[in-house]
Structures are given as C-alpha cells and as structure tokens.
C-alpha cells in the first residue's frame, strides 16, 4: 500500500512530543494577544520594548508606503536601494558607533550571507555550543572547518584556538557567539573573548539579537556596554526583536561592509526589504536614541527585576523545576524555566494556556534533547500585575503536579 508522504515521520515526531504547530494570532503583538477569540497574556515574544505595534513605527511605515509604495522591485545592487534603506543604515551605524552598517531581509539572512563571505574552505569557525541555528547553518554553508566549544567555555575555546594555529597555520579563524543567548538568557564573557581573539589573532563575530534594545547605553548592546566596539570585528543584530520591525544587520568597518555588498549572497541575490519596513526600523532606532527610548529601556529593566524577584522563589520551591541561568549573570529579558522532559514541558505550557497565559515550550532541536523548557520573556509593555499573575499561576501549577 502506498504510504502518505511523511506520515510516518510525523507520527514519530508526535510520539516523541516534538511535533510543532502554528497558532493563529488575531491581534497585533503586545502583552495581550487574541487566539481563537480568547485574550491571553503574552510572555512569548521578543518585542522587548513593545515597539511592534507602536504608533511611531506604524506612522513611519505608512508614510513610507505613501511615498515609496510597497515592494522594492529588485535587489539592493540593482535598483532596490531606496532612501529609507540608506537612512536606516546611517542611523544604525551612528547608534552603534561603527563606521557603517548593512541591512538584510532578516537576522537569519544576515548570518547566512555574512559568515560564508568571511570564511571559506580551509578556514576555521569556532562556534559556541548554544549558538542560534542561523549561525550554525551559516558556518556549515561557508565550507570552513567548524569546531564547537562548550557553552561559554573559554578554556576549551583556547584549546581550539591553539589547535587551529597548529593545524591550520595562516588560515583565518572566526569566533562566533552571541552576547545574550536566545534560549538561556545568559551572556557571553565578552572581555575574555576579546583577550583570546587578540592573543590568537582571530576574528570575533557577536550576534546581539537579544541584547540590542535591552543592554548598554540606549540599548546599543553588550559590545557597546563593555566599550569593546573596536575589538569586535562583526556586530550582528536583528531589527525583528526589540526594534519591533523586521530585518537583520551587520555593523562594522567600511571594508567589511563593502566586502559583504560584494560577497554576501543573501544580500546580493534577494530583493531588497520593503522600504516601509526600513522606515519603521529607522523610527525604532530614533526612538532608542531618544531620552524617551532610554526611559522605556529602564522600565524594561524594572520589569525584568520584578520577574526575577517573583519567579526565582517559586521556581526553587517547585519540585523538578529550576530557573537555571538567572543567578549566574546580570540578566536579560529571557527567563528559561527548565523542565527537561518534552511532554512535561508541553503539559506545563498547556496548563498555563488554560489559565490565560501564552508561554511557549521550547524543545529539541531548538534546545538539546531532554532540556525542554518554558521560555518566559518579559517586555516593557507588561504591567506589574500581569507579571505577578504569571508568577502566581506558575507557582500553583508547578506545585500541584
């Protein structure tokens, strides 16, 4: 009998509690969203500053649509580069304090375009074990030799660097990591990484996806906070999270950006992002640079501190649950509640949904097998009582199971 395509594989996914499904959201992004006629408190998004539905961004996008239309019509190198794209890149570079910047249609595209442009066959890429899929895919695509070092393990990274110097002398070595890790919320030891990269004459690329808008003066990220802009060769980020818009970027030197314009295939062979999206992202950069933006970022930190204060004791008391990373660093807006078992994580997420909270269960392959978790994100748009009610619900549910 003829089998239906993928039926067995899908069955196996379901049996392992690893199947995934789309959920339809009938409202804009925000601390409250609507799913199938129900309002849910949303602790799942990366819209850290609540900009995704901000009137400043909406109006900037609408004005740009009225002036420039919708589609960009061609790739950036043909005729797709419109004024909003260049305005955004100038503002990004100024805000970041780098010579220049280049935007891509997504953070994923920024990674996929840039890493294969930086290294090639016989070069070496050293990746943190917890790096985002876009960085892993990009490293693989580059054809370079890829070595993974255990998460934030400087000693192992050092021994990889020694190995690379010994076995691949004269080849380019690129260290790739994140300033805030997307599923754990902890930070990279940036100063030590810079010391290592200097000692071994390697290049350093930092993905600041979850740090920009959150960390550093005016949300410029961890690199800016540590005043190490000159030491980090490639600063990557996304316009899709704290910026509330869409797209990815690379900030760096003139030569780097000129090289990417010539070699980054996801940039060259893809139509330019809609000019209205660039205009919305520019409004976000301008907001972040303003004193109002800084006030919003400080409000986010108040919410982060409240979440940590309320979650930590209830998570400790709950049998078999731990908030693994909160103690060990200065924090971020990401709170992983480690569960371990995939089905158990799904059950917990379902129980929270019944209580009116959207908190996603994160499972393999996003995280390692057996390290499933609830990933709670807090934003500046959450009210204090919303955070209190989530922590209460978690306490009740985890203690009753």
Ligand X SMILES: *Cc1c(COP(=O)(O)O)cnc(C)c1O
**94 among known catalytic residues:** no
Tell me how crowded residue 327 is: count the other CB atoms within 10 A of its CB: 12
Instruction: Work out whether 398 is an interface residue with ligand X (CB under 6 A).
Output: no
Instruction: Work out whether 29 is an interface residue with ligand X (CB under 6 A).
Output: no
Q: Which of 152, 235, 240, 314 binds ligand X (CB under 6 A)?
A: 240
Buried/exposed code over 347-363 (b: 16+ C-beta within 10 A; e: otherwise): bbbebbbebebbbbbbb
**382 among known catalytic residues:** no
What the block records as the tokens of 368 is 């390692």
- Alpha-carbon distance 143 to 323, whole Å? 37
| Contact by Cβ (8 Å): 54, 238 | no
Instruction: Work out whether 297 is an interface residue with ligand X (CB under 6 A).
Output: no
The H or E element containing residue 146 is strand 145-149
Q: For 89, what's the count of Cα atoms within 13 Å in the CB-facing half-sphere?
A: 24
**168 among known catalytic residues:** no
Per-residue x/- track, 169-198, ligand X (CB under 6 A): ---------x---x----------------
Q: Which of 44, 82, 106, 114 binds ligand X (CB under 6 A)?
A: 106
| Contact by Cβ (8 Å): 250, 235 | yes
Instruction: Work out whether 98 is an interface residue with ligand X (CB under 6 A).
Output: no
Q: How many helices (H) and strands (E) does the chain have?
A: 14, 13
Q: Dihedral, CA atoms, 219, 224, 225, 228, nearest 10 degrees? A: 170
Q: For 199, what's the count of Cα atoms within 13 Å in the CB-facing half-sphere?
A: 13
What is the closest distance, in whole angstroms, from the C-beta atom of residue 134 to ligand X in the complex?
A: 4
Binding segment for ligand X (CB under 6 A), chosen from 25-33, 103-111, 332-340, 364-372, is 103-111
Q: Which of 114, 238, 266, 377 binds ligand X (CB under 6 A)?
A: 238
Instruction: Work out whether 132 is an interface residue with ligand X (CB under 6 A).
Output: yes
84 vs 107, beta carbon nearer ligand X: 107
Instruction: Work out whether 134 is an interface residue with ligand X (CB under 6 A).
Output: yes
**27 among known catalytic residues:** no
Q: Which of 209, 234, 381, 393 binds ligand X (CB under 6 A)?
A: 209
What is the closest distance, in whole angstroms, from the C-beta atom of residue 390 to ligand X in the complex?
A: 22
Q: Which of 107, 221, 244, 275 binds ligand X (CB under 6 A)?
A: 107
Any bridge partners for residue 33, and if so which? 40
What is the closest distance, in whole angstroms, from the C-beta atom of residue 214 to ligand X in the complex?
A: 12
What is the closest distance, in whole angstroms, from the C-beta atom of residue 385 to ligand X in the complex?
A: 29
Range 242-271, binding ligand X (CB under 6 A): 248
Tell me how crowded residue 288 is: count the other CB atoms within 10 A of its CB: 23
Tell me how crowded residue 57 is: count the other CB atoms within 10 A of its CB: 22
Instruction: Work out whether 152 is an interface residue with ligand X (CB under 6 A).
Output: no
- Alpha-carbon distance 71 to 88, whole Å? 17
Residues labelled as active-site residues: 46, 132, 178, 182, 207, 210, 241
Binding site for ligand X (CB under 6 A): 106-108, 111, 132, 134, 178, 182, 207, 209-210, 238, 240, 248
């Amino acid at each position: 009998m003829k089998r239906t395509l993928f039926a067995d594989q899908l069955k196996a996914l379901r049996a392992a509690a690893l199947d995934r499904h789309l959920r339809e959201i009938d409202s804009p992004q925000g601390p409250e969203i609507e799913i199938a006629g129900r309002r849910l408190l949303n602790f799942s998004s990366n819209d850290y500053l609540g900009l995704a539905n901000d009137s400043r961004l909406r109006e900037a996008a609408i004005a740009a649509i009225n002036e420039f239309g919708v589609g960009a019509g061609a790739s950036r190198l043909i005729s797709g580069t419109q004024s909003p794209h260049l305005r955004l890149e100038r503002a990004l570079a100024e805000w970041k304090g780098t010579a220049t910047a280049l935007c891509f249609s997504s953070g994923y595209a920024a990674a996929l375009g840039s890493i294969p442009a930086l290294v090639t066959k016989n070069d070496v890429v050293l990746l943190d074990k917890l790096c985002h899929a876009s960085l892993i895919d990009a490293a693989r695509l580059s054809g370079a030799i890829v070595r993974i070092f255990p998460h934030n393990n400087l000693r192992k990274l050092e021994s990889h660097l020694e190995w690379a110097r010994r076995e691949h002398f004269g080849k380019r070595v690129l260290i790739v990591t994140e300033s805030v890790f997307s599923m754990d919320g902890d930070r990279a030891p940036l100063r030590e990484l810079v010391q290592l990269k200097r000692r071994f004459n390697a290049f350093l690329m930092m993905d600041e996806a979850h740090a920009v808008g959150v960390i550093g003066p005016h949300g410029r990220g961890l690199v800016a906070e540590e005043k190490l802009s000159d030491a980090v060769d490639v600063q990557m980020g996304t316009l899709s999270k704290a910026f509330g818009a869409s797209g990815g970027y690379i900030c760096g030197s003139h030569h780097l950006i000129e090289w990417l314009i010539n070699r980054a295939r996801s940039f060259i062979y893809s139509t330019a992002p809609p000019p209205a999206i660039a205009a919305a992202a520019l409004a976000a950069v301008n907001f972040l640079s303003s004193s109002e933006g800084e006030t919003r970022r400080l409000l986010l930190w108040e919410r982060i501190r409240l979440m940590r204060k309320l979650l930590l004791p209830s998570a400790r008391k709950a049998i078999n649950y731990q908030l693994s990373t909160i103690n060990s660093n200065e924090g971020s807006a990401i709170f992983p509640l480690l569960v371990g078992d995939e089905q158990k994580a799904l059950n917990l997420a379902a129980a929270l949904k019944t209580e009116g909270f959207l908190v996603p269960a994160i499972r393999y392959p996003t995280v390692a097998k057996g390290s499933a978790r609830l990933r709670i994100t807090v934003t500046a748009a959450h009210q204090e009582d919303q955070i209190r009610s989530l922590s209460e619900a978690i306490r009740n549910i985890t203690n009753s199971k």
